[in-house]
Amino acid sequence: MNIKILGPGCKNCQKLYDMANEIVEELGIDAKIEKVTEFKDIASYGIMKTPGIVINEKVQVSGRVPSKKEVKELINKNL
């Protein structure tokens, strides 16, 4: 599984990154989590508001920090 956190590095982006790492560890799954901070790379996903979360190259959420429960459900749905 490939998870990308889209954002310039603001506190909400970092919060989402930390949350994704925590959930992956809790679930015990093999996932690569990376930060995407370059605007052109973020824009290539078609989102204009950050933070965003992309799982397996599909945008799941953008423009807000989802709840931990929501992120966990998104990860489970994309396993």
User: Judging by DSSP bridges, how do beta strands 52-55 and 32-36 pair with one another?
Assistant: unpaired
Output the CA angle 40-46-48, nearest 5 degrees: 75
Catalytic residue among 8, 10, 38, 39: 10
Burial class of residue 59, CB neighbours in 10 A (0-12, 13-18, 19+): middle
**Which listed residue (6, 13, 31, 71) is catalytic?**
13
Whether 10 is catalytic: yes
Distance from C-alpha of 6 to C-alpha of 17, rounded to nearest angstrom: 9
Active-site residue list? 10, 13
